[in-house]
Amino acid sequence: MAKSCPISTFFIVISVLSHFTSRIGLRPWADALPLERQSLDNASRLRVDPDAIRMASRDFGKLVHLPNPAAVLYPCSIEDIASLVKFSYNLSSPFSIAARGRGHCHSGQAMAPHGVVVEMRSLNDCSRGSGIRVTKNSILGSYADVGGEQLWVDVLKATVKHGLAPVSWTDYLYLTVGGVLSNGGISGQTFRRGPPISNVYEMDVLTGKGELVTCSEDTNSELFFAVLGGLGQFGIITRARIVLEPAPKRVKWIHMLYHDFSAFSRDQEHLISINGLDYLEGSLFMENSPPNNWRSSFSPSDYPRISSLISKKGIIYCLEVVKYYDDLTSHTVDEELKELLKGLNFLPRFVFRKDVSFVGFLNRLQNAEQDLGAKGLWDVPHPWLDIFVPRSRISDFNKGVFRDILPKINQTTGPIHVYPMIRNKWDDRMSAVTPDEDIFYVIGLLHSSGADDWKPLENQNKEILQFCDKAGIKIKLYLSRYTTKEDWMKHFGPKWKTFEDRKAQFDPKMILSPGQRIFNSI
Ligand code: FAD
C-alpha cells in the first residue's frame, strides 16, 4: 500500500527529484531537447516550496487538515504524470499521488499526505494536455475530446462555437472534467439526461500502474465503468470524450413557490415523469435563511412579497424549471410550457418567468466566487452535506429534517437543494452509488460558516444522518466523506466487492487519491 508516514517525505522528494533529473526518466516527446535542459524542466515541475505545498493542502471545504504532501507536480504533459505514477509504482514502498482539479471537494479528497499532488490545471497552462477538440458528426453523434484538467465552463465556450453543447451539467461550471467525472455530477438536467458520467463515450485513463489506457463501454470496459464515479481510485482521467448535441439558443426559466411540501414534491415527480422540460431543480427558503439564498432568482420588486410569504409560512419550497428553445421553436415554446405546467399546485401569485440565453443560464453561477468572496463566504469552511434520499421516505425527511432539525440553528447559511432524479438514468455498472429506488431526491445543504463556527453545522449534519439511520431512511451520500473502510463498505453495499476487485486490478499498490480514505487510512 502507498506509504503515508512522515519519515518517507524526505525520501520521496529526493527520489522523485533525482528520478526527474536523471536520464532514466526521459520521456520520448522531449528526446529532441538537450539533456541538461530536459532534466531541468522536469525538476522544476516538481515543487516543494511553501506556496505550492500550502495550495495543495487546501480545499473548498476547509474542514479537514491532513498532513502536507511532500511535493506538488505541475505537469506539462500527460507523460510527466505517467512518469511520476510509474516511478512510485516501481518502488517497494510507493508514495501516494492525488490528481487535483480545482480542489473544490470539501474533505481532503484531493490531498496526498506525504505523497505528491498533481495540479492537473497546469496541463492547460502548457497546452500539452488533451485540450478541447470538437468533432461534429450528425450521423454517428458529435462529441468533444476534453482533457481531464479542463473546466466545464471552457467546454461550454468551446462547444457552443460549433453550435453544440454537452447535455448534462453541474450547477457550477468552474469544476474540472476529471474531478466531476470522478464523483458523478448532478444538476437539473440529470433527471432527463442522466448525470455527466452517463454522457461519456470514451476516456484515456492513467492507471495506478502508470499505464495509459483508452477505455469505453466496449473496450477495457471494466476500467471505464470503474472510473466513472470512481472517486479517483482507479486512474487519472486525462481525456474524456463527451456526448454533444445541438445547443439551443435561449431558455425559458420559471420559478414557482409552494408552502405545501406534498404538493411541491408531487409536482416535481409529475414533471420528471413527462417529456418536455430540460431542467428541473427545487430548493428550500426558510425564515432563518439569509435573503442572499433566494434573492438572486427573483427581481428586486418581488423581494418584499416573497420575504413576507417566507416569514408568514416559515418554510417555502421553490420549484425551478427550464425549457430550451431556438429560432424554430420560439413561436411555440410559451404554449408548450403552459401545457406542461397546467394543473400544478404552486401558489397562484408566485410564479416568476425569465427568458435568458442558453449560455447565460448554464453559467448562471459564474460570479459565485466573487459574490460569495465579497460577502466573506468563499474563503471560509463549507460543511456541506449532499445526500440522496429514496422517494418513499422524502416526506419523512421533510418532517424530520426540514421542519424539525434545520430550524434549530438560528440561521441557515447557504442554499438548500431538493429535487428528484430517476435511477435508470444512472448506469449501475459504474462506481457511482444511488439509493435502491426508481426515484430518489437530491438534498444539498450547501453551508458556509465563519472560520470558527462550522462545528454546529457539522453537528447538525451528523444529527441529520443519525435521524435517517434511526428512521431507517436508506440514504446514500453524494460527495461522500467517510473515513473508515467499514463505512465505505456500507456505502457501496453490494457494489463493494466489485469496487475492491477493480482497485486490486487497476491500482494494486493503492497509490491514487488517498484523501478519499477508502483504502488508505490517514
Ligand atoms: P477536486 O476537488 O480537485 O478532486 C476531487 C476528487 O477527484 C479527488 O479525489 C481527486 O483526486 C479526483 N480527481 C481530480 N481530477 C481527477 C482526474 N483528472 N482523474 C481522476 N481523478 C481526479 N458537484 C455536482 O455534482 N454538481 C454541482 O452542481 C456542484 N456544484 C459545486 C459548486 C461549488 C461551488 C463547489 C465548490 C463544488 C460543487 N460540486 C458540484 C462538487 C464538485 O463536483 C466536486 O467538488 C468535484 O470534486 C469537482 O471539483 P474539482 O474539479 O475541483 O476536483
Q: Is the CB of 105 under 6 A from ligand 1?
A: yes
Q: Which protein residue's CA is at the shortest distance from atom 37 of ligand 1? A: 104
Phi and psi dihedrals of 278, rounded to 5?
-105, -15
Whether residue 214 has pLDDT greater than 90: yes
Q: Is the CB of 511 under 6 A from ligand 1?
A: no
Whether residue 220 has pLDDT greater than 50: yes
Judge contact between 66 and 20, C-beta under 8 A: no
Phi and psi dihedrals of 388, rounded to 5?
-105, 125
Q: Is the CB of 98 under 6 A from ligand 1?
A: yes
Atom of ligand 1 nearest to the CA of 185: 25
Q: Is 36 a catalytic residue?
A: no
- What is the pLDDT at residue 257? 98
- What is the pLDDT at residue 14? 55
Q: Is the CB of 520 under 6 A from ligand 1?
A: no
Q: Are strands 385-390 and 315-325 parallel, antiparallel or unpaired?
A: unpaired
Rounded mean pLDDT, 242-269: 98
Q: Is the CB of 175 under 6 A from ligand 1?
A: yes
Whether residue 35 has pLDDT greater than 60: no
By most ligand atoms within 8 Å of CB, the mutation choice from 81, 105, 513 for ligand 1 is 105
Catalytic site residue from 19, 80, 104, 149: 104
Rounded mean pLDDT, 257-264: 98
| Domain assignments of the chain as residue spans, ordered by start | 7-125, 130-246, 250-478
Fold match flag (130-246 vs 250-478) = no
Taking each helix axis as running N to C, give the angle between helix 78-89 and helix 8-21, from 0 to 180 degrees, rounded to the nearest 10. 130
The residue type of 40 is: L
Please, which residues have CB within 8 angstroms of residue 19's CB and are 6 or more apart in sequence? Answer: 25, 83, 87
d(CA 131, CA 77) in angstroms, rounded, equals 11
Q: Is the CB of 236 under 6 A from ligand 1?
A: yes
Residue 494 DSSP class: G
Q: Which protein residue's CA is at the shortest distance from atom 27 of ligand 1? A: 170
Banded model confidence at residue 284, pLDDT cuts 50, 70, 90: very high
- Cα–Cα nearest to 64, from 512, 384, 478, 475: 384
Which residue(s) pair with 147 in the sheet? 239
Banded model confidence at residue 29, pLDDT cuts 50, 70, 90: very low
Q: Are strands 439-445 and 416-422 parallel, antiparallel or unpaired?
A: antiparallel
In the chain, the percentage of residues whose pLDDT exceeds 70 is 91
The residue type of 130 is: S
**pLDDT tens digits along 63-112:** 999 999 999 999 999 999 999 999 999 999 999 999 999 999 999 999 99
Residues listed for the chain: 522
Q: How far is the CA of 39 from the centre of ligand 1 (A)?
A: 32
3-state secondary structure of 318: strand
Q: Is the CB of 481 under 6 A from ligand 1?
A: no
The angle at the Cα of 171, spanning 404 to 173, to the nearest 5 degrees, equals: 145
d(CA 178, CA 120) in angstroms, rounded, equals 9
Banded model confidence at residue 33, pLDDT cuts 50, 70, 90: very low
Rounded mean pLDDT, 398-420: 90
- What is the pLDDT at residue 451? 77
d(CA 148, CA 97) in angstroms, rounded, equals 16
Q: Is 104 a catalytic residue?
A: yes
Atom of ligand 1 nearest to the CA of 151: 51
- What is the pLDDT at residue 12? 58
In the chain, the percentage of residues whose pLDDT exceeds 90 is 80
Judge contact between 205 and 175, C-beta under 8 A: no
Rounded mean pLDDT, 455-464: 94
DSSP 235-276: EEEEEEEEEEEEPPSEEEEEEEEES-HHHHHHHHHHHHHSS-
- What is the pLDDT at residue 42? 59
- Cα–Cα nearest to 132, from 155, 164, 149, 166: 155
Q: For residue 512, give the C-alpha cell.
A: 491514487
Rounded mean pLDDT, 251-269: 98
d(CA 85, CA 454) in angstroms, rounded, equals 36
- What is the pLDDT at residue 313? 94
Residue located via cell numbers 508516514: 5
**pLDDT tens digits along 493-507:** 999 999 999 999 999
- What is the pLDDT at residue 125? 84
Rounded mean pLDDT, 464-487: 96
Please state which CATH number belongs to domain 7-125. Answer: 3.30.43.10
The dihedral built from the CA positions of residue 199, 201, 202 and 207, taken in this order, carries a sign that is positive
Judge contact between 478 and 184, C-beta under 8 A: yes
By most ligand atoms within 8 Å of CB, the mutation choice from 64, 78, 130, 170 for ligand 1 is 170
Banded model confidence at residue 377, pLDDT cuts 50, 70, 90: confident
Whether residue 342 has pLDDT greater than 90: yes
- What is the pLDDT at residue 19? 52
Atom of ligand 1 nearest to the CA of 186: 25
Atom of ligand 1 nearest to the CA of 478: 25
Least confident of 23-27, 36-40, 120-124, 341-345: 23-27
Whether residue 25 has pLDDT greater than 70: no
By most ligand atoms within 8 Å of CB, the mutation choice from 55, 153, 156, 175 for ligand 1 is 175
Catalytic site residue from 79, 154, 171, 507: 171
**pLDDT tens digits along 301-321:** 999 999 999 999 999 999 999
d(CA 333, CA 252) in angstroms, rounded, equals 8
The angle at the Cα of 239, spanning 235 to 243, to the nearest 5 degrees, equals: 120
Banded model confidence at residue 279, pLDDT cuts 50, 70, 90: very high
Residue located via cell numbers 435508470: 424
Q: Which residue has the higher pLDDT, 39 or 518?
A: 518
Q: Is the CB of 446 under 6 A from ligand 1?
A: no
Please, which residues have CB within 8 angstroms of residue 322's CB and are 6 or more apart in sequence? Answer: 188, 251, 252, 253, 254, 277, 278, 279, 280, 361
Q: How far is the CA of 38 from the centre of ligand 1 (A)?
A: 32
**pLDDT tens digits along 323-339:** 999 999 999 999 999 99
d(CA 329, CA 90) in angstroms, rounded, equals 59
The residue type of 152 is: W
Banded model confidence at residue 376, pLDDT cuts 50, 70, 90: confident
Atom of ligand 1 nearest to the CA of 175: 51
Please state which CATH number belongs to domain 130-246. Answer: 3.30.465.10
Rounded mean pLDDT, 477-498: 95
Q: How far is the CA of 231 from the centre of ligand 1 (A)?
A: 9
d(CA 63, CA 429) in angstroms, rounded, equals 32
Q: Which protein residue's CA is at the shortest distance from atom 23 of ligand 1? A: 185
Give the mean pLDDT of the chain.
91
- Cα–Cα nearest to 283, from 307, 300, 265: 265
Whether residue 446 has pLDDT greater than 60: yes
The residue type of 200 is: V
Q: Is the CB of 226 under 6 A from ligand 1?
A: no
Q: How far is the CA of 232 from the centre of ligand 1 (A)?
A: 10
Burial class of residue 153 (count of CB atoms within 10 Å of its CB; 0-12, 13-18, 19+):
middle
Q: Is 369 a catalytic residue?
A: no
Residue 352 DSSP class: E
250-478 to CATH, choices 3.40.462.10, 3.40.50.300, 3.40.1160.10, 3.90.1520.10: 3.40.462.10
